[in-house]
Amino acid sequence: MFIRSERLFLRPGWAEDWRELETLIADEKVMRSLASSTWPVTGEDARRFLDHGTPPRLPRFLVTLPDARGARVIGCVALERRGEDVELCYWIGRDYSGKGYAIEAARAVTGLACALGHQRIVASHFLDNPASGRVLGNAGFRQTGRIIERYSKVRGMAYPAREYALELDMPGGCDDDMNRLASHEAEKRAA
């Protein structure tokens, strides 16, 4: 499965991506923001991550940035199972953060989630990472009012995280979701 957004190309990981992936995820600052990830990261971890199959309704994509030299891997975005919920998970390499790529990737995958029949997606961010909260808000997620504990291997402990949710329409109404996100952005600009 592939997704093309305005600036990005989201695709499955391939075996030959392991070095590029290892370089990006061996960054402690990036990994500090992720729950339950391996630390420290090795080439074998990157290979295992790429070899891991995903169920059709829970896709995982490498986020790539196409240009004249090809398409560089800049991050990852996925839908994963967390208990009874479907969770949006993402990360963007440090050199590419702050440019709107995480928002664009999150919107692309939540649009796909709607088409796959998911009705609700959750996400969270550690309290000391408010930038991730802005990504989620700009992708249409709303705070649930819950603070949950998420384990971080880099931190070596459970740490509080703010929970968000995005309610999706039934399949066939997914275009309305994109209109709803556009309305949400307009409301934020007006406020």
Model pLDDT for residues 78-91, shown as the tens digit of each residue = 999 999 999 999 99
Three-class DSSP category at 122: strand
Q: Is the dihedral of CA 115, 91, 146, 130 positive or negative?
A: negative
Pairwise CA distance, residues 70 & 46, whole Å: 21
Burial of 20 (0-12, 13-18, 19+ CB in 10 A): middle
What CATH code is carried by the domain that includes residue 170?
Answer: 3.40.630.30
Contact 114, 169 (CB under 8 A): yes
Q: Which stretches in the chain have pLDDT values below 70?
A: 36-37, 39, 170-191
pLDDT at 24: 87
- Domain span including residue 125: 3-190
pTM: 0.85
Pairwise CA distance, residues 163 & 149, whole Å: 10
25 strand-pairing partners? none
Domain count along the chain: 1
Q: Is the dihedral of CA 135, 78, 92, 64 positive or negative?
A: negative
Please name the helix (run of DSSP H) or strand (run of DSSP E) that holds residue 190, with its range, or none.
helix 174-190
pLDDT at 125: 96
